[in-house]
Amino acid sequence: MGEVVLAAKICHVPSMYLSELPGEHHGCRDAAIAGHKEIGRRARELGADTAVVFDVHWLVNSAYHINCGEHFKGIYTSNELPHFIKNMEYEYPGCPELGELIAAEAVAAGVRTLAHNIPSLELEYGTLVPMRYMHMGVPDEQKFKVVSIAAWCAWHRLEDSFAFGAAVRRAIEKSDRKVLVLASGSLSHRFSDDRDAQANMHSWTREFDKQMDLRVVELWKQGRFKEFCAMLPDYAEHCFGEGKMHDTAMLLGLLGGADYDKPVEVLTEPFGSSGTGQINAIFPV
């Protein structure tokens, strides 16, 4: 029987890759990278062999989509921010059988879902960035099998993403996999206007967004997800939630929705990045 061994809400800011490189911003995201490494370490310690990533950087306009290719390998440059991520190499095994099982379970729950094992369907950086740091220094035989799920759901209902997340949990439990589940996306996501981008490299665009993010994190720390789920649609709208925060809805659906009440453990304290709010936090299963 399969199991979700660890679940987390994580950042995937491209400045994490920039942080590795010599220059002005070297080391600027050490705390975020350390959070990713710790999540990977704990997941392996708990026996995780597969990572399922709700990727808010994968945009879809219709249905729910799962990238469950057999193998992922390539060199990635971001077309959004090529001055942040360029020529980033990656290689991970996939897990087609789990992707297919998730799709079947979601369809049975009334959520229109498609699983894809297509070699030319590439991973987005919402998956590639965390996988980079969660695999850093790890031998090939300890690599997670990767399943990436689109969570920038442009024309979807948050209610369906809650239902989809619950279906993911059921599918995992019907599988033979030990799974790390990651909601890869920001808190607030109001990017700074271009003329202010460099000045706001390490801050929020608006004080309103910062204060809302800090309040949300306090609710999470207190396990007050009934209140958070009630405010999520407005929070996503007024604070420009990345991908409308469907990754967060999927994660909470997997954990029990508004009935989830476990205090969250923050590994990387909230921080501003190019105007957006970011965090790494473990949601106890």
State the pLDDT at residue 131.
98
Question: What domains can you pick out in the chain, each with its CATH number?
Answer: 3-282 (3.40.830.10)
Please state, rounded to an integer, the average pLDDT across all residues of the chain.
Answer: 97
Mean pLDDT of 111-126: 98
In this structure, the dihedral spanned by the alpha carbons of residues 203, 208, 213 and 215, taken in order and rounded to 10 degrees, is 140
Quote the pLDDT of residue 172.
98
Across the range 234-243, mean pLDDT stands at 98
> pLDDT tens digits for 168-226?
999 999 999 999 999 999 999 999 999 999 999 999 999 999 999 999 999 999 999 99
pLDDT value of position 101: 98
Task: Tell me how long the chain is.
Answer: 285
**What does residue 212 show for φ and ψ, rounded to 5 degrees?**
-65, -45
Query: Residue 27's CB: how many other CB atoms inside 10 A?
Result: 10
**Helices assigned H by DSSP within 46-151:** 96-108, 125-134
**What pTM did the predictor assign?**
0.98
How far, CA to CA in Å, does 134 sit from each of 14, 48, 144, 276, 283? 15, 12, 9, 22, 17
Per-residue pLDDT band at 240 (split at 50, 70, 90): very high
pLDDT at 237: 98
Query: Helices then strands (H, E): number in the chain?
Result: 8, 10
Instruction: Provide mean pLDDT across the span 258-267.
Output: 98
pLDDT bin (cut points 50, 70, 90) of residue 112 is: very high
246-260 average pLDDT score:
98
Confidence at residue 42, expressed as pLDDT on a 0 to 100 scale? 98
244: left (phi over 0), alpha (psi -120 to 50) or beta: left
**Over residues 158-172, mean pLDDT:** 98
